[in-house]
Amino acid sequence: MAIHVVGLGIDPDTLPEIYEQIITTADVLVGGKRQLAAFDELDVETIPITAPLSNVFDAMSASYNARKEVVVIADGDPLFYGIGDRIIKEFGSENVVVHPNTATVQAIASRASVSWQNMRMVSLHGRNDFTPLFTSLMQCDHVTVLTDDTNIPAFIAQRLLDRGISWFHMSVFENMGTSEEKFSNYTLEEASNLSFSRLNAILLERVGAPAQPLRLGIPDAEFATERKLITKRPVRAASLGMLELEPHNTMWDIGAGSGSVSIEAAHLLSKGAVFAIERKSERIDLIRENRTRFGAINVDVRHGDAQATIKDLPTPDRIFIGGGLGSDTTLLAPLCERLQNGGIIVVNCTLLSSLEAAKNHFKTTGWEYEVTMIQAAASSPLAGDIRLDSMNPIFIISAHKPVPEKQSD
């Protein structure tokens, strides 16, 4: 005997006959309030799915051990952002049979006449981290989003507008699978000012592109800067290499300036996020302008003093300090404390005193570190030919935070 998990699709009234038979012959029916309401005419024991799930699983186990036929009913396809995976982990794949149905993404694709093999699905149901949505929009032309009572279409549209996005439109699908079903297309500005049915999902469709493609090695002249103050392209490339960024990493850019390092790091963090922290308001505007210009929407811009700002940020896997360290290493201690075990911090220094101060700090903490000096030169026209103009030498110090050894018993 197995626990059956039945997907209702988007319309319980169109269930295949075999699915109806599984549900109607159940001894115990498990589901959310709305799913159970669709079968309230059945004379059957019910277990509502409510928090905490541990209580639900305890009740299911008791019924299952009593040799009762337990059937779980779920929206859409139970193994696509559904409860099916959790039930399999709880009871074992050998004790669970899943009956799939039409997932929301399939229904949306069919109504919008869009092929869905390359479509990305993001669930914001019960979540407050928009990073998966931002990175999906950087990579895909069509992204479907599952919403909830907090992350409603208007709120999502405004979050995207706040990141400078203008090259996506939003379709809102309301009351799918019911007689009141409808969907309409909007600009993000239009959607941000509208209300919709509580039962909805959205499709974000690319209708344009950022002004410049996001990539590594962006020419310095393409960035908006303050008096051409920027981490120059050769140094930027070396610094990003020293950071050893992995796709899922969270990175802090301290003293981000124009945001050039943050922007290019965003390209590498295909599943992660960059927090660009800058205390000068005029530079904050530059970072936002560059974020919009290159479509680096997984860059979160924070205005304020670094030591105060980092208190509310998620734990970083990588930290970059591009300027402003000087000979005062006061900031290094809290940064190193917050860095994830095994993480990397990279500090760019122009002054020998800054380099010495950073080295001494890492010596004191016992961290492994290395120093690289970058001294590049760029060509400029001269007498019908070119000459090389030297850039200031930059010292790049990279340090690894040790991973504590496991204590033996």
Residue 286 above 90 pLDDT?
Answer: yes
Average pLDDT over residues 364-388: 94
- pLDDT tens, position by position, 32-83: 998 999 899 999 999 999 999 999 999 999 999 999 999 999 988 899 888 9
Q: Quick one: which of 115, 94, 92 has its CA closest to 105?
A: 115
Residue 90 above 60 pLDDT?
Answer: yes
**Mean pLDDT lowest among 245-249, 339-343, 386-390, 403-407:** 403-407
Average pLDDT over residues 106-115: 93
Task: Write down the pLDDT at residue 343.
Answer: 98
Residue 409 above 60 pLDDT?
Answer: no
User: Coil, strand, or helix at residue 358?
Assistant: helix
The DSSP letter of residue 195 is: -
CA atoms within 13 A on the CB side of 100: 8
Percent of the chain with pLDDT over 90: 87
Q: Which helix (H) or strand (E) holds 270?
A: none
- pLDDT tens, position by position, 91-102: 999 999 999 998
The model scores a pTM over 0.85 = yes
Q: Quick one: which of 268, 402, 262 has its CA closest to 344?
A: 402
Task: Write down the pLDDT at residue 400.
Answer: 97
Q: Got the DSSP string for 94-108?
A: GGEEEE----HHHHH
Q: May I ask the CATH class of domain 220-400?
A: alpha beta
Torsion of CA 240, 246, 251, 253, to 10 degrees: 10
Residue 183 above 90 pLDDT?
Answer: yes
Residue 12 above 80 pLDDT?
Answer: no
Residue 200 above 60 pLDDT?
Answer: yes
Extents of the domains making up the chain: 3-102, 105-206, 220-400
Give alpha helix (H) positions in 301-365: 306-309, 332-338, 352-365
- pLDDT tens, position by position, 206-246: 999 999 999 999 999 999 999 989 999 999 999 999 999 99
Average pLDDT over residues 279-301: 97
> What distance, in Å, lies between the first and last C-alpha atoms of the chain?
42
Residue 408 above 60 pLDDT?
Answer: no
Query: What does pLDDT average to over the chain?
Result: 94
Task: Write down the pLDDT at residue 213.
Answer: 97
Residue 407 above 70 pLDDT?
Answer: no
CATH superfamily of 105-206: Tetrapyrrole methylase, C-terminal domain (3.30.950.10)
CA atoms within 13 A on the CB side of 79: 11
Contact 10, 102 (CB under 8 A): yes
Task: Write down the pLDDT at residue 82.
Answer: 86
Average pLDDT over residues 187-209: 97
Look up the CATH architecture of domain 3-102: 3-Layer(aba) Sandwich (3.40)
Average pLDDT over residues 323-351: 88
